[in-house]
Amino acid sequence: MDATAVALGDDTRTGSPDAGPSGEPSAAQPPPPPRHVPPAAPVAPAACARSVPSAGARPDPAPAERATPAAPAAPVGRATPAGWAGTAGDPGPYALPAPAAPAAGADPVVPAQAPRRGAGRPAGPGQRQPHPRPVITELRLSAFGRHRSAAFPLGPVTLFAGPSGSGKSQVLAAYEALAGLGSGATVETLFPDPRARIPDGAAPDAQRRRGFRLGCTVDGPAGPVRLELAVQAEPALRIVGERLSQDGRILFATALRDPGRRSVQASWLTGGAVGVTRAPLPDDRLGTALLPLRVAGSTAGQRQVLAAAEQVVVALRSVFACDPRPDRMRAPVPPGEGRLLGDCANLADVLRRTRHECGTRHALLAEAARTGCAGAVAGLDVHAPAGGAVTAVLDRGPGRPATELGRLGSGELRFLALALVLLTGPGVLDMDPAAELLSARQALTVLADGLDHGLDGRQAAELLRLALLSCGRGHVRLVAAVGEGTAAAARRLDGVSVVDLSV
């Protein structure tokens, strides 16, 4: 049977593989409809956010789709984890696991390993609360580093806690990798050391192949959409399988048919007389991100594929990974566009911009500085002589000399940078926002590995307050790794989900 037909749910054979690259057994039964975990209730109005309008038009369909539609294929049916093909007639080692149902309940402490498939009843359509903006509501690591069959529900503010080596950084690395793939980056760029992501003890198959799997659920106006990805790390780094599904129905799937070629066979729902369209796609990029360039949208099936793909791409591209580096933030910086870098090295230039463009946001940041910085703080100011470098200072009040940010402690600098990120919008961050929707219809997700690194309890508590303030209306979301002290304080806050990786 054709491998793509198998991936699309027409699986009548009995010789499908029983193990994935991590040595886990593959499920033999079809998965239930995915459950949706509603986000935490908002607790406060969001801070000032600058809207940056963007527009994009869908290009004409690719010539391959217009001129060479595939022959009629088996109808697209229920999703089945029956495997992505490695070669023609050989399903390979990258069988998809059955989707795991997310943990239910109102307890803000979420266990790291969610209940497996069939552990609870799926939520009915009347129980779901559709998200007005595309957001990632679940991250799945079926075989990624130390994580096996793990599903992490994500709310407006989600903190990962656990001892050193529990996999907090791996979770955020997986999220950042998915975001990079959604932005068009290649697997070589995102996984410079792919062997480090292979689960310990994973045995290669007969062709000496090993890899890892990850996926996510994106909720939004189109409803929950699931994305699953299988990456081969050895002997060559490549994407060997991808699956986009909704309500148990596969909309798009890829399969590696010929290991000698740097492409995968892709199939997507077309509807009408054709049923399914097939075309080769590169094996180093996310196929879902390429679909808007290949699908015409002339049939109901194509429009469903486009809506699901664009929702996933918008959510993945609306991510900003932030890791402030105090050693790079102390020196004056040349004036520029005022777009904050991931390491926050140009913090002074961004403060210059926010002071002039959004007084409300700048006032909120100055108020936070009074809590997070030692000594009296009357405000935040910048010195920007004509043609010279920009220096940010703390205004200490009348009769007191200002303090340059370069003289502050490392914790104070990290605090100011993270507070600015939480209070700002995509237009002030060094990121490429998705053009499919206006920025007002998008939700920015901030990734922060070690959110409280170098911070004292007062500073960490203030960052949590700012996170709840900014995330209350759904324009901003926070996914971060924290220490046990911050996690213990966060467990007492409504609206914060703490994922304990030590469970």
> What are the pLDDT digits (tens) for 400-456?
999 999 999 999 999 999 999 999 877 888 887 666 666 667 789 999 999 999 999
Task: Collapse the DSSP code of 53 into the 3-class scheme (helix H, G, I; strand E, B; otherwise coil) and give the result.
Answer: coil
Closest Cα partner for 357 from 382, 378, 377, 333?
A: 382
Closest Cα partner for 216 from 299, 102, 318, 368?
A: 102
Q: Tell me how far apart the alpha carbons of residues 303 and 288 are, in angstroms, rounded to a whole number.
A: 14
Torsion, Cα of 248, 250, 251, 252 (10° steps): 150
Mean pLDDT by 10 residues, the chain (503 residues): 35 34 37 43 37 38 39 37 33 41 39 36 48 92 92 97 94 97 95 93 88 96 96 96 96 94 95 88 96 91 95 94 95 92 95 89 93 94 89 94 94 96 86 67 90 95 95 91 96 95 81
Residues in the chain: 503
At how many degrees (to 10) do helices 457-471 and 410-423 cross?
A: 10
Cβ within 8 Å of residue 248, ≥6 positions away: 30, 31, 32, 33, 34, 78, 79
pLDDT of residue 431: 83
Cβ within 8 Å of residue 256, ≥6 positions away: 84, 85, 86, 87, 92, 232, 238, 240, 241, 264, 265, 283
Q: What's the Cα-to-Cα distance from 134 to each of 46, 93, 294, 310, rounded to whole Å? A: 18, 32, 22, 9
pLDDT of residue 181: 97
Closest Cα partner for 397 from 419, 373, 420, 418?
A: 373
Provide the greatest CA pair distance for the chain: 82
Question: H or E element: which one contains 320?
Answer: strand 319-321
CA dihedral sign, ordered 190, 194, 198, 204: positive
Cβ within 8 Å of residue 443, ≥6 positions away: 131, 133, 134, 135, 315, 318, 474, 475, 476, 477
Task: Kindly report, residue by residue over 230-260, the tens digit of the pLDDT.
Answer: 999 999 999 999 999 999 999 999 999 999 9
Q: Which residues lie across from 138 on neighbouring strands?
A: 153, 217
> Which residue, chain included where needed, has tokens 């467990």?
491
Closest Cα partner for 412 from 484, 480, 329?
A: 329
Q: Tell me how far apart the alpha carbons of residues 48 and 361 are, in angstroms, rounded to a whole number.
A: 5
pLDDT of residue 130: 66
pLDDT of residue 503: 65
Task: Kindly report, residue by residue over 316-368, the tens digit of the pLDDT.
Answer: 999 999 999 999 999 999 999 999 999 999 999 999 999 888 888 899 999 99
- Looking only at the bridges linking them, the beta strands covering 238-246 and 225-234 are antiparallel
Q: What is the CA radius of gyration of the chain?
A: 24
pLDDT of residue 51: 35
Q: What's the Cα-to-Cα distance from 474 to each of 1, 243, 248, rounded to whole Å? A: 46, 28, 27
pLDDT of residue 485: 95
DSSP state of 220: S
pLDDT of residue 131: 79
The three-state (H, E, C) secondary structure of 415-451, written as one string: HHHHHHHHHCCHHHECCCCCCCCCHHHCCEEEEEECC
Give the long-range contacts of residues 335-340, CB within 8 A, separation 24 or more: 335/384, 335/389, 335/390, 338/428, 339/427, 339/428, 339/429, 339/430, 340/417, 340/420, 340/421, 340/424, 340/428, 340/429, 340/430
DSSP state of 312: H
